[in-house]
Structure 1
Amino acid sequence: MLDGSYTQVGMPAKGEVTINNFAFNRNRVNYNTSLVGGIPETQELIDYCAKNQIYPAIQVIRANEVNEAWRKVVNKEARYRYVIDTATI
């Protein structure tokens, strides 16, 4: 994507981020960060996403799949955010 923006909300573990500057520069992508906002900012973001039909990429898992999902997160193999189906607890 040309002329895009990548915003990281919140802080990663140990405050460290590794990015490929050449990929950002080549595609004219702006990288910026933000600490987690409060309730008004969160609601503004939710309203914006709903209005513009921006939805998260998720994978619904059963409660007994939590350990495997966590292993994938730790090993950087997770492709989507995991959402636990609480009806399976």
Structure 2
Amino acid sequence: MAKFLLLLLTLYLVWTIFFRSARPRRRDGGREQNLPPPPERMVACAHCGVFVPESEAVPGEAPGQFFCCEAHRRQAVRPEGKG
């Protein structure tokens, strides 16, 4: 029985050494680099004040002016109510 266990231990060590050397080593220590993207700048709508990500905002005519949607941009260009 002891010889059988010794044989199994030897096979396990050979197997482990073989597959560790066959795998390519990672330079980053094995850590995954699945970091979330950096936070995006939020801008306020010049019409209603709702904050939206800058990539989704509709730019206005003035520099640094943003709107949450095209309808609010149009309302800022020509105010409604006069007629």
Which structure has the greater CA radius of gyration? 2
TM-score w.r.t. length of structure 1: 0.18
TM-score (norm 2): 0.19
Higher relative contact order by CA 8 Å / sep ≥ 6: 1 or 2?
Answer: 1
- 1 or 2, which has the higher strand percentage? 1
Q: Which has the higher helix share?
A: 1
